[in-house]
Amino acid sequence: MCASREQAEAALERLRNLLAELGLEPKAAKTRIVHLRVGGEGFDFLGFHHRWVASRPHGNRRPVAFLARWPSARAMQHARDRIRELTDRRRLLRPVKVIVEDVNAFLRGWAAYFRFGNSAHVFDQIGSYARMRIGGFLAKKHRRTRKFGWAVVAFAAQDSLGLIALHGTVVAPRPFRDWRGRPNAGGERRR
């Protein structure tokens, strides 16, 4: 984070020199200087998309600008692809319970990684996609319509066949607070 483009270019040059001493070099396709401003472009890093945004005005409070992060488009596509693999028709001989357990295992890991940020909207998208795929799998398995499968997941099964819900799992960062939570006396994390 630099105050000017000149500072950013100097920092990048220092990084290149340091890496060269180690026999390394930054990958040109993944290295660029981004001017972060409200309404401007962002950047992807470690699966997150980072962008400078402004909060919505609330009451008489002025909007606050901050760095927001959520799963990148590539991370979202990876999640959809993995859920599609886990609910593929080649797995129709397996019990629905096993398919749901496999999808849940993936969703737990994916959500644990991406929960720190401004990810609630994309979590809703991935959760809806998982429910739709489980419903489609159920319909194929029982040779019924998709509408039947979706209805079972959405309404007939009280717990959506055991599929975990991703809403409520996001931990939004707060200004001037450790985003991971601080350990208390017992070593546990506080929220």
User: Which residue, 142, 169, 138, 141, is CA-closest to 151?
Assistant: 138
63 against 72, higher pLDDT: 72
Q: Judge if 99 and 131 occupy the same domain.
A: yes
Contacts (Cβ under 8 Å, ≥6 apart) of 54 = 38, 63, 64, 65, 66
3-state secondary structure of 137: helix
pLDDT single digits (tens) 152-190: 877 766 667 778 888 766 676 665 555 555 444 444 443
| 49, 66: one domain | yes
126 and 54 both lie in a single domain: no
Tell whether 175 is covered by a domain.
no
**Domain span at 10:** 5-70
| Residues 151, 134 share a domain | yes
Average pLDDT over residues 76-85: 97
Domain count of the chain? 2
Compute the residue count for the chain: 191
Q: What global pTM score does this model have?
A: 0.74
Same domain, 48 and 58: yes
Q: Are residues 82 and 118 in the same domain?
A: yes
**pLDDT class for 75, splitting at 50, 70, 90?**
very high
Least confident among 14-23, 31-40, 87-96: 31-40
For residue 46, give both structure tokens.
Answer: 């470690």
- Residues 83 and 146 occupy one common structural domain: yes
- 131 versus 36: the higher-pLDDT residue is 131
Residue 46 CA to residue 136 CA, distance in Å, equals 32
Output the CA torsion sign for 9, 15, 18, 23: negative
**C-alpha pair distances (Å), 104 with each of 38, 39, 131, 155, 161:** 36, 35, 11, 19, 11
For the segment 116-141, the average pLDDT, to the nearest whole number, is 90
Query: Looking at residue 61, what is its pLDDT?
Result: 80
Least confident residue range of 104-108, 146-150, 154-158: 154-158
Domain boundary among 70, 103, 122: 70
**Residue ending a domain, choose from 70, 91, 106:** 70
Phi, psi of 50 (to 5 degrees): -110, 135
